[in-house]
Amino acid sequence: MSKKSNALMAFLAGAAAGAILGILYAPDKGSNTREKLSFQLDKYKKMLQAYLDDLMSGQETPLTSEAKSQGEKVVSEAKGKAQQLLNDVDELLEQIRGRNS
């Protein structure tokens, strides 16, 4: 994940934790607090379920686009390094063969 998506996830986690703590420490009756907490958790559950459904269906989301981009970058770098290694091996073989001749 990129720094941007990590920051977004950290922000969402912080917002959720802050909302829960704010509700728990608010001077209100327990039944009202539980109702508010239940409502907030249900809202976050629906958001996460929608995100999970998008991921499972293969639908593009900003996070999946970023992950795909990063994956392509890693594959491209690996191909480049593999090609460089092949070139180095070929060069070493030529040097060895040149000495044996």
User: Residue 93 has which token pair?
Assistant: 């073989």
12-42 burial, b for 16+ CB within 10 Å, e for fewer?
A: eeeeeeebeeebeeeeeeeeeeeebeeeeee
Overall average pLDDT of the 22-39 stretch: 77
Q: How many domains in the chain? A: 2
In a 3-state reduction of DSSP, which class is residue 72? helix
Better pLDDT: 40 or 7: 40
Find the domain containing 99 and state its range. 62-101
Query: Would the pTM count as exceeding 0.85?
Result: no
Q: Do 5 and 41 lie in a common domain?
A: yes
* Amino acid (1-letter code) at residue 50: A
Q: Are residues 33 and 51 in the same domain?
A: yes
Write down the residue that tokens 């040097």 correspond to: 95
Average pLDDT over residues 19-27: 74
- Is residue 29 domain-shared with residue 72, that is, in the same domain? no
- The first and second tokens of residue 58, run together, are 């293969």
Q: How confident is the model at residue 66 (pLDDT cuts 50, 70, 90)?
A: confident
Tell me the average pLDDT of the chain.
81
35 & 52 share domain: yes
pLDDT at 97 over 80: yes
